[in-house]
Amino acid sequence: VFHGRILAQRLVGQETRYEVEVKAPYRQRSPLVSREYLWVPNTCGCPPLREGGEYVLMARRHVNHEHTLNRILLRDGGYARPWTPREERLVREAARHC
């Protein structure tokens, strides 16, 4: 879970690749760097992410069996909401209780 700002987007096959500036990580199993690529299948029911917009994103790190692919993937069950101070409070409280 992290707060990110969408810098750019690009259609790549059946997915959209978003370049994201990581503003604040909240809960993570693997470390994030200041800029990451977020991959979203074009069939995802996620809300559209717009360039320049800031979001709270709950995505998973996806590594294939050969360990040749390591990326952040937002799937259908993922969470993508426009960032607000209220969202930040909710995420921080949830992270403390886990």
Domains of the chain: 2-96 (2.40.50.120)
Residue with the two structure tokens 């960032």 = 83
Q: Residue 60's Cα: distance from chain center in Å?
A: 8
Do the beta carbons of residue 27 and residue 36 sit within 8 Å?
no
Between 61 and 38, the more confident residue is 38
Q: CA–CA separation, 80 vs 12, rounded Å? A: 20
Q: Are strands 35-41 and 54-58 parallel, antiparallel or unpaired?
A: unpaired
Higher pLDDT, 48 or 93: 48
Q: What is the pLDDT of residues 62-95, one digit of tens each?
A: 877 776 678 898 887 778 888 887 766 766 665 5
Confidence of residue 1 (pLDDT cuts 50, 70, 90): confident
Q: Residue 37: is its pLDDT beyond 70?
A: yes
What phi and psi values does residue 50 have, to the nearest 5 degrees?
-105, 145
